[in-house]
């Protein structure tokens, strides 16, 4: 229902729709709530941060009706929008308007699409909590203007961003769908077109009662819609780059998009969406392996300012039965460090009571991360610590299912 002209999306005027002129392009200042934080490296706390973001490129009319949904497409960067530098052969980001020229199929959507692009677009290896805050600010500032949001993002850290957004957008009632591609959208065999087009379709899909079909932060990739905070990048070569090992896909895409409605979370309609912006990055991941030395474990647990450890253990949450390991973990826990046990296995859940080698960890104060992905455990800890919570509160909330990120059977 709209055309791409002169490098930008142009929506034809719609009948019976109110006309709203282009939004002003101006930097927006975000005043973050003042919460206690005495530690170094505590991000985004007690300060006002100016995120120079501009309003989306809107089209000729801003409107929403029951039969004409609207989607905001946020382009952060990544392979999907890259082009090969003829001199170096390396992939580099290029202009988003150019990217859209490669997808003339977007014209055929019965859906209004506005765009916002990061300037400059980034490789997702450069993604960080300040940029998550920027994405959340864009979404929350335009929350009432759109039915859904699609975020184009590099695949390398997409799972981390999806986890972070799932915690930052509390009581989300609209779809936020992340996607990207393994091959740039300008290439003949690209997977980007398919991913982008279907992500937009999912972001604008509604149930018969008019409510959004998937009011969750998700990753859509290669025919599967996955809960974002359950997803891991598993493949740097194939098109099926992501997998949700511990939670089934929310939808499978073939000729039809088959939604598994019983698996999709629904927001509390009595509460508004509440955006959060705070993170504390004093978190470390410690992977156990046979032969690991005390000096290594001790150094990690004594990193200045460290507040939480994601401990990647064996099988169902087991660790070597070494006196020094138990002592180091117990002392760290007693110093106030939160230690979360997740398994090195891709599928399955931590059950520390199952073997003596797991039970000993429980007795040192290590808590279960259940079936969390590593991406989820790290971002959830940074999120909770960022809000100035004490050790007990962080432990309690790590044990709670905040956004569908863990499976608790009891």
Please give the positions annotated as active site.
Answer: 79
How is 99-134 classified by DSSP, letter by letter?
HHHT-GGGGG-SSEEEEEE-SS---GGG--HHHHHH
As given in the structure block, the two tokens for residue 258 are 């088959």
- Of positions 124, 190, 231, 379, contacts ligand ASP by CB under 6 A: 124
With contact defined as beta carbons under 8 Å apart, do 343 and 373 qualify? no
The CA angle 383-230-240, to the nearest 5 degrees, is 130
Nearer to ligand ASP, 81 or 275 (CB): 81
Q: Which stretch binds ligand ASP (CB under 6 A): 33-41, 73-81, 159-167, 334-342?
A: 73-81
Is 81 among the residues that bind ligand ASP (CB under 6 A)?
no
- Report how far residue 358's alpha carbon sits from residue 170's, in angstroms, rounded to the nearest whole number: 33
Chain residue whose CB lies nearest ligand ASP: 154
- Interface mask toward ligand ASP for 163-182; x: CB under 6 A: -----------------x-x
Is residue 219 within 8 Å of 231, Cβ to Cβ? yes
**Segment lying near ligand ASP (by CB under 6 A), choices 58-66, 148-156, 260-268, 390-398:** 148-156
Size of the site for ligand ASP (CB under 6 A): 10
CB of 284 to ligand ASP, least distance (A): 23
Pick 232 or 343: Cβ nearer ligand ASP: 232
The residue to which tokens 């004409």 are assigned: 68
Note the maximum CA span of the chain. 75
Nearer to ligand ASP, 155 or 368 (CB): 155
Q: 10 Å Cβ neighbour count for 359?
A: 14
180 or 369: CB nearest ligand ASP: 180
Task: Return the closest-CA partner of residue 314 out of 283, 347, 354, 342.
Answer: 342
Structure tokens at 202: 């999912």
Taking the complex as a whole, the smallest distance from the CB of residue 362 to ligand ASP amounts, in Å, to 37
Nearby residues of 209 by Cβ (< 8 Å), 6 or more positions away? none
Place of tokens 């591609």: 181
Q: Which stretch binds ligand ASP (CB under 6 A): 26-34, 151-159, 212-220, 256-264?
A: 151-159
Considering only 56, 69, 78, 267, the residue that binds ligand ASP (CB under 6 A) is: 78
Determine the Cα–Cα distance for residues 80 and 166; give it in Å rounded to an integer: 23
Does residue 155 interact with ligand ASP by CB under 6 A?
Answer: yes
- Sole binder of ligand ASP in the list 56, 69, 148, 154 (CB under 6 A): 154
If one asks whether residue 232 binds ligand ASP (CB under 6 A), the answer comes out as no
Q: Which two tokens stand for residue 117?
A: 């692009």
Which residues lie near ligand ASP (CB under 6 A)? 77-79, 123-124, 154-156, 180, 182
């Amino acid at each position: 229902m709209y055309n791409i002209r002169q490098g930008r999306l142009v929506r034809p005027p719609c009948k019976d729709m109110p006309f709203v002129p282009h939004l002003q392009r101006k930097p927006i200042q975000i005043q973050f709530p003042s919460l206690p934080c005495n530690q170094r490296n505590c991000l985004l706390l007690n300060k006002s941060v100016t995120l120079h973001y501009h309003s989306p490129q809107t089209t000729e009319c801003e409107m929403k009706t029951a039969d004409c949904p609207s989607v905001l497409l946020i382009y952060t960067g990544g392979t999907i929008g890259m082009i090969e530098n003829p001199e170096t052969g390396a992939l580099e980001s290029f202009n988003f308007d150019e990217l859209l020229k490669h997808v003339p199929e977007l014209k055929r959507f019965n859906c209004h699409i506005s765009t916002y692009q990061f300037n400059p677009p980034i490789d997702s290896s450069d993604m960080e909590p300040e940029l998550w805050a920027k994405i959340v600010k864009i979404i929350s500032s335009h929350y009432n203007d759109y039915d859904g949001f699609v975020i184009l993002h590099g695949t390398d850290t997409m799972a981390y961003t999806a986890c972070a957004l799932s915690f930052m957008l509390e009581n989300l009632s609209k779809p936020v769908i992340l996607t990207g591609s393994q091959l740039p959208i300008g290439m003949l065999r690209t997977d980007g077109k398919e991913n982008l087009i279907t992500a937009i379709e999912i972001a604008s899909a509604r149930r018969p009662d008019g409510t959004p079909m998937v009011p969750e932060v998700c990753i859509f990739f290669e025919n599967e819609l996955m809960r974002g905070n359950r997803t891991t990048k598993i493949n740097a070569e194939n098109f099926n780059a992501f997998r949700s090992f511990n939670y089934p896909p929310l939808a499978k895409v073939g000729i039809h998009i088959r939604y598994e409605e019983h698996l999709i979370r629904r927001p509390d309609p009595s509460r508004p969406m509440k955006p959060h912006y705070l993170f504390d990055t004093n978190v470390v991941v410690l992977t156990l392996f046979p032969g690991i030395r005390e000096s290594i474990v001790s150094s990690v647990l004594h990193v200045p300012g460290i507040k939480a450890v994601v401990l990647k253990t064996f099988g169902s949450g087991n660790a070597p039965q070494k006196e020094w390991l138990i002592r180091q973990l117990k002392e760290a826990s007693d110093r106030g460090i939160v230690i979360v046990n997740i398994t090195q296995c891709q599928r399955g859940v931590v059950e520390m009571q199952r073997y003596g080698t797991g039970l000993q960890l429980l007795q040192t104060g290590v808590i279960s991360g259940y079936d969390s992905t590593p991406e989820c455990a790290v971002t959830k800890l940074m999120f909770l610590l960022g809000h100035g919570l004490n050790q007990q509160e962080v432990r309690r909330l790590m044990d709670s299912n905040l956004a569908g990120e863990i499976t608790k059977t009891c």
